[in-house]
Structure 1
């Protein structure tokens, strides 16, 4: 094939134009290259031509995963905060239409507080609810019963709930008597040890709680769970929250879970929340002990429908972007990376976790989020799904451009679940500490900031939240500081725990996980 050359008689003007075009391309290349160097890794020049993607999918896998930004641009000179929502959905069927195993056998160990403060209705209702649980479990399930006060008693190891063992379990339940102090740490350790022993028999492999990071999952078609119950403060044995959470975390690394239940108004709700988060389970607040039976049924139903356990999020951040919060979960940081454990998910349900990030806004830039992975255990194997396409956040000079970049649906959900949940947790702490001014100041700041942002988005649901729910929260705070000093103390205990629990459920999106 012959090449086509320009005719020798081409005009001088045309040749001059071609030289100018070539020079312009060279100059454009130099400018772009210099800008790329100036912004460094993970950042590129930002302008009206920048492509900012608010949503991204993950590679294919058993779970349906999605990621979305609440906004794609932040203003230069602003605080640079933006939110990344990660949504998990566990279908009832596998991709090839095989039915998911939604009725797994369960290994359940109940660790019950039998200290002196449990005397009366609490221990009676707990025993009655345990008796109902024994009647509900099938012969495929195993139940172990541990109680703690000053010391720990193993009433039964995890045994199959056959007709013969059902009677033994019922007798063990009725022999539990309250009295003594609260050695919560020994109770938790013993409960986990009971689970470890039965797991070793099934899996024919050693299991250690000393250092489980990176350990392979232990094969089992069963769901394994500890339910820890307490109505008071840990005052014997191991009492450090970090050490107690460490026990629960090491169990979660094996694919098991730890749920924590606070009864009444005198337990440490922050310790129980920490245990549930570290253990990949759920924190429950039972103001009235009559709710024990519903709690056990709820936990059993969830355990039988587990689709994935030990879900964790790993993210590497570009230079100029930092991770500040993750829906209240503990963040483990390493260099430019961060990870968090978010627990399990039941078949047919969905959960959304909000990551709060901050971008450097000292100058215009575009940051690329392209290293995000979700790992979990399913059907005896560790699964891993990664972000299939990058997400981009730009720092722009035009503030109105930044305000116009909100993704209304994603922002609305973030406000109603994450922001409002965090407000309730902040208010709960202030109420528990007897600081009305701090609680009211937090509500005022939330109302002002959210109303200002909503001017750009125009969400009716967010406006309703400000007009109705926030006003109700304000009234609840006012009520807890009314009456005599004795009445106020009781009201503040109740309001603090109730509001904190509501905030926890919102931020961890646990209510959606139970649908």
Structure 2
């Protein structure tokens, strides 16, 4: 595992401040860990036809990627969850049975999302696979209609699942799922959810997720920072963080070949002399490692300094973008959205000027353009499809998992039956 820590001192709004960016990156030659995943698939009425067919095809591609050291299970849910196949090793017989079960799926009625995720996590937690972190991979295209439905319920569930040792990944399809629920489920895991516009995007989205899951080399990554000479210190990314004595720690989740992890801390100085002690811990195979990370002080205008400042600018932009979308979902909040969009544009312009190749600004242009068009039309509510894509991208930026789903060559119209 490669660990780096870059610190930039600069003028902040309230005096001198320091930006500390800690990165964890998997070595290319490091062996990947086996996976233990329970697939939890929505088969409600809205999935009938093209969505279910695409979900089956995407899930089958994931199964094809699994080796004999990997463990997969299958749960489906409509009004009631059902564990069709237990989580087990993917030898030739088990893979054939799972592929066959996927090919026979049919849609039903209702969406018992809460119970499905809860029971899916329980099922994978009961299987011990040495070196593998138990995970739930959930796909849904609708709002929960059976059982708990409030975001607060799912926040509690997401936190409880992570505390039990299971991580949650989520794909949201189309226009009808609630992004707040997926954020609540995946936030404690440090994964962030993905949005897919329509069925044709499921296979590339699942491929992106598979690269992450089947490239994992370390889990339970955590960064500890011990500051000296600071008035305060805060974690800018939305990782679960806490104060431990005189230090602050942030839980980053897993590190894979496909996704290095970043976590940015910001601290206000109260002394001309300052220092930062950084330690990283993670589980690699069956071993827990805890290693000190050397902090390198870099100039703001150096290449590394621009990289750190670009990560900060991107987080500023994502925060304002999220504020604007939230304002547009409420009545008489267009002026609030306009102000937030202006601040997001300023942050994006800063990102362009910094010209850091690690944080390309072009991936944000389409979303901000969508937001600008909606505000200009004085819409009372943003288009639900665009809003969900924005929520998913903001979620992944603020959890440092910025993976771009490849574009689909042709967009095929589809209509929900819910």
The alignment's TM-score, normalised by the length of structure 1, stands at 0.67
Query: Of the candidates 297, 306, 325, which is equivalent to residue 207 of structure 2?
Result: 297
Q: Which residue of 1 aligns with 2:110?
A: 181
Counterpart CA distance in 1 for 2:203 and 2:383 is: 27
Does the C-alpha gap of structure 1 residues 353 and 119 become closer, same or farther in structure 2, counting only changes over 3 Å? same
Asked if structure 2 preserves the Cα contact closer than 8 Å seen for 1:259 and 1:281, the reply is: yes
Asked if structure 1 preserves the Cα contact closer than 8 Å seen for 2:7 and 2:295, the reply is: no
Counterpart CA distance in 2 for 1:466 and 1:307 is: 26
What's the secondary structure of 1:181's corresponding residue? coil
Aligned 1:2-151 pairs, distance under 5 A: 63-70=1-8, 72-74=9-11, 78=14, 81-93=17-29, 100-102=30-32, 104-151=33-80
Does the C-alpha gap of structure 1 residues 410 and 167 become closer, same or farther in structure 2, counting only changes over 3 Å? closer
Asked if structure 2 preserves the Cα contact closer than 8 Å seen for 1:307 and 1:347, the reply is: yes
Aligned 1:427-442 pairs, distance under 5 A: 427-433=324-330, 435-442=333-340
Compute the displacement of 1:110 (Å).
0.4
Query: Of the candidates 189, 194, 202, which is equivalent to residue 123 of structure 2?
Result: 194
Residues 482-512 of structure 1: CA deviation (Å, up to 9, x unaligned):
6797xx75x5212322223333333333236
Query: Of the candidates 373, 382, 385, which is equivalent to residue 479 of structure 1?
Result: 373
Counterpart CA distance in 2 for 1:437 and 1:225 is: 42
Counterpart CA distance in 2 for 1:419 and 1:193 is: 37
Q: Which residue of 2 aligns with 1:287?
A: 197
Counterpart CA distance in 2 for 1:176 and 1:474 is: 38
Aligned 1:222-241 pairs, distance under 5 A: 222=132, 224-239=134-149, 240-241=153-154
Compute the displacement of 1:120 (Å).
3.3
Please report the RMSD computed on the Cα atoms of aligned residues, expressed in angstroms: 3.8
- Structure 2: 5+ residue runs without aligned partners? 407-418
Counterpart CA distance in 2 for 1:259 and 1:174 is: 22
Tell me whether 1:500 sits opposite 2:386 in the alignment. Answer: no
Q: Which residue of 2 aligns with 1:420?
A: 317
Does the C-alpha gap of structure 1 residues 436 and 458 become closer, same or farther in structure 2, counting only changes over 3 Å? closer
Structure label with greater radius of gyration = 1
Q: Which residue of 1 aligns with 2:290?
A: 384
Asked if structure 2 preserves the Cα contact closer than 8 Å seen for 1:114 and 1:178, the reply is: yes
Compute the displacement of 1:448 (Å).
5.3
Counterpart CA distance in 2 for 1:388 and 1:460 is: 25
Q: Which residue of 1 aligns with 2:81?
A: 152
Compute the displacement of 1:158 (Å).
1.4
Counterpart CA distance in 2 for 1:91 and 1:164 is: 33
Number of aligned residue pairs: give it: 400
Q: Which residue of 1 aligns with 2:409?
A: none
What's the secondary structure of 1:165's corresponding residue? helix
Asked if structure 2 preserves the Cα contact closer than 8 Å seen for 1:109 and 1:195, the reply is: yes
Tell me whether 1:357 sits opposite 2:267 in the alignment. Answer: yes
Asked if structure 2 preserves the Cα contact closer than 8 Å seen for 1:307 and 1:378, the reply is: yes
The alignment's TM-score, normalised by the length of structure 2, stands at 0.80
Q: Which residue of 2 aligns with 1:47?
A: none
Tell me whether 1:372 sits opposite 2:310 in the alignment. Answer: no
Compute the displacement of 1:155 (Å).
0.4
- Structure 1: 5+ residue runs without aligned partners? 1-62, 94-99, 203-219, 393-401
Query: Of the candidates 281, 288, 311, which is equivalent to residue 221 of structure 2?
Result: 311
Counterpart CA distance in 1 for 2:210 and 2:301 is: 46
Asked if structure 2 preserves the Cα contact closer than 8 Å seen for 1:133 and 1:297, the reply is: yes
Tell me whether 1:257 sits opposite 2:193 in the alignment. Answer: no
What's the secondary structure of 2:36's corresponding residue? strand
Query: Of the candidates 219, 234, 243, which is equivalent to residue 156 of structure 2?
Result: 243
